[in-house]
Amino acid sequence: MNNKGFTTRLIHADRLINQPESGAVHQATNNSVLFEFKRAQELVDVFQGKQTGHVYSRSSSSSTVALQNILNNLEGGAGAVTFATGMAAITATMLSLFKAGDHLILSRFLFGNTRSLTETMESLGISLSFVDVTDLTKVEKVLQVNTKAVFLETIANPVTQVADLTAIGRWCSANQLLFIIDTTMTPPNLFDAKSVLASLTISSLTKYIAGHGNVLGGAVVDCGTFDWSKFDNILDIYRGAAVAQWGLTQIRKRGLRDMGGTLAPDSAHAISVGLETLVLRTQRICDNALRLARYLQSHPKIAKVYYPGLADHPQHARAKELFKGFGGILSLDLADGIDPIAFLDQLKLVICATHLGDTRTLALPVASTIYFESSAEQRKQMGVNDNMIRMSIGIEDFEDLVSDFDQAFSHF
């Protein structure tokens, strides 16, 4: 199976990995919350981890395990855990692995809600340093004796900075730090997280993985590169299994069983169906985005285009080396005097909405929406200008996207 191409693996994954009953090509959606045990001792054994099985669907069910198996296979990891949303996956990971007194190094360019979650983490006594992760030297400078991890995103949103993943991965490995990457922008067909020595990947399945704007989900995959025996936050009770499973065991027990952000079985099914066309969708998205970026770059009513596929993007060479495609996020600064709100109102095909990774092209004004709680100074630090528009490029026919922009610009 693993010697096959990515799309072949995707569409045959359920059949071959999960082997559903009666020749079904999809894992059956199982909505049972409870599971009967004919012998009480079996229930005890499953509870105590001596035997595999499901006891209560907040912790696991055949539906979520089937999706976890597929996601883990795509990443070539040691295991995966799914969650109700991407934010549930991030929160569960942060709060189950770290504690008061720990220090973490975080990207300064984080998804807005991850950034607001960090306030909760700080209030619980976890200290954080926010740095420019495009440059390893900035990361090295904030290392402390109590530093436990580096957390960043592959391509940041909305300004599309590309982290120095290779150098930071090597540095984390040399310093025995967990290297946690939010790979939402670059699903596993575009980016091999193991190649940069990621310890854990976290992703919002809601975006490119599911892809159709009809289901929420999140996942954590352990890439199998980190030696958990060197990580002193694992509780003794979670050190029972093989060392490679310690981290995920703690995330599953504290982050899923205790915190309860469980993925619904129907959602697991919807995500696995969306996943089948991941390669087709992302190829078309990356292709549309690059062509549109080039078109918009030369447009007189646009001051600046942010897209890692453009030769003048500050991390273009790095992005080319790391990713099999430059992603679907394309941001732009409108020329002075064009109001982003008025401009968005003229787009007819492109949808004004806050989401990304969809089949449809979406756009939103950045400063007044996702960063409206940030001060002007904070926005400046993140590189967010007042007349910036973020777009998530979809799979429409390219000519239709260009026509929509042309007719919108004709009003200004």
Pairing of strands 362-365, 388-392: antiparallel
Q: Which amino acid, residue 231?
A: F
Among 63, 204, 245, 249, binds ligand PLP (CB under 6 A): 204
Which residue sits closest to ligand PLP, CB atoms considered?
Answer: 86
Q: Backbone phi, then psi, for 306, in 5-degree steps? A: -110, 110
Site string for ligand PLP, 106-145 (x = CB under 6 A): -----x--x-------------------------------
Could you say whether residue 323 binds ligand PLP (CB under 6 A)? no
Tell which residue, 363, 382, 374, has the closest CA to residue 159. Answer: 382
Among 62, 96, 184, 272, binds ligand PLP (CB under 6 A): 184
Q: Which is nearer to ligand PLP, 86 or 265 (CB)?
A: 86
Distances from the Cα of 52 to the Cαs of 61, 65, 255, in angstroms?
11, 12, 19
Query: Mapping DSSP to helix (H, G, I), strand (E, B) and coil, where does residue 352 land?
Result: strand
Q: Backbone phi, then psi, for 356, in 5-degree steps? A: -155, 165
Q: Which is nearer to ligand PLP, 178 or 408 (CB)?
A: 178
Q: Give min distance, CB of 245 to ligand PLP, in A.
A: 25
Q: Which is nearer to ligand PLP, 10 or 156 (CB)?
A: 156
Among 206, 249, 385, 387, binds ligand PLP (CB under 6 A): 206
Residue 296, token pair as written in the block: 């918009």
- Rounded Cα–Cα distance for residues 93 and 252 (Å): 9
CB 370 within 8 A of CB 112: yes
Residues 209 to 248 in contact with ligand PLP, rule: CB under 6 A = 216, 218
Could you say whether residue 85 binds ligand PLP (CB under 6 A)? yes
Q: Give min distance, CB of 237 to ligand PLP, in A.
A: 29
Q: Give min distance, CB of 334 to ligand PLP, in A.
A: 23
Q: Give min distance, CB of 184 to ligand PLP, in A.
A: 4
3-state helix, strand, coil in the chain (%, to 5): 40, 15, 45
Among 74, 87, 193, 290, binds ligand PLP (CB under 6 A): 87
- Rounded Cα–Cα distance for residues 21 and 352 (Å): 43
- Rounded Cα–Cα distance for residues 46 and 273 (Å): 30
- Binding segment for ligand PLP among 10-18, 79-87, 261-269, 335-343 (CB under 6 A)? 79-87
Query: What DSSP string describes 101-151?
Result: T-EEEEESS--HHHHHHHHHHHHTT-EEEEE-TT-HHHHHHT--TTEEEEE
- Binding segment for ligand PLP among 16-24, 83-91, 237-245, 300-308 (CB under 6 A)? 83-91
Could you say whether residue 91 binds ligand PLP (CB under 6 A)? no
Strand partners, 180: 151, 200
Residues 356 to 385 in contact with ligand PLP, rule: CB under 6 A = 356
* CA–CA–CA angle 5, 207, 378 (5° rounding): 125
CB atoms within 10 A of CB 143: 15
Alpha helix locations (H) across 14-57? 40-47
Q: Give min distance, CB of 182 to ligand PLP, in A.
A: 5
Q: Give per-residue burial for 230-244: e unless 16+ CB within 10 Å, then b.
A: ebebbeeebeeeeeb
Among 207, 281, 313, 318, binds ligand PLP (CB under 6 A): 207
Q: Which is nearer to ligand PLP, 54 or 390 (CB)?
A: 390
Among 75, 164, 182, 222, binds ligand PLP (CB under 6 A): 182
- Binding segment for ligand PLP among 53-61, 85-93, 131-139, 359-367 (CB under 6 A)? 85-93
Q: Which is nearer to ligand PLP, 117 or 349 (CB)?
A: 117
Among 77, 79, 86, 265, binds ligand PLP (CB under 6 A): 86
DSSP 378: H
- Rounded Cα–Cα distance for residues 243 and 60 (Å): 21
- Binding segment for ligand PLP among 10-18, 82-90, 295-303, 361-369 (CB under 6 A)? 82-90
Q: Which residues bind ligand PLP (CB under 6 A)?
A: 85-87, 111, 114, 153, 157, 182, 184, 204, 206-207, 216, 218, 356
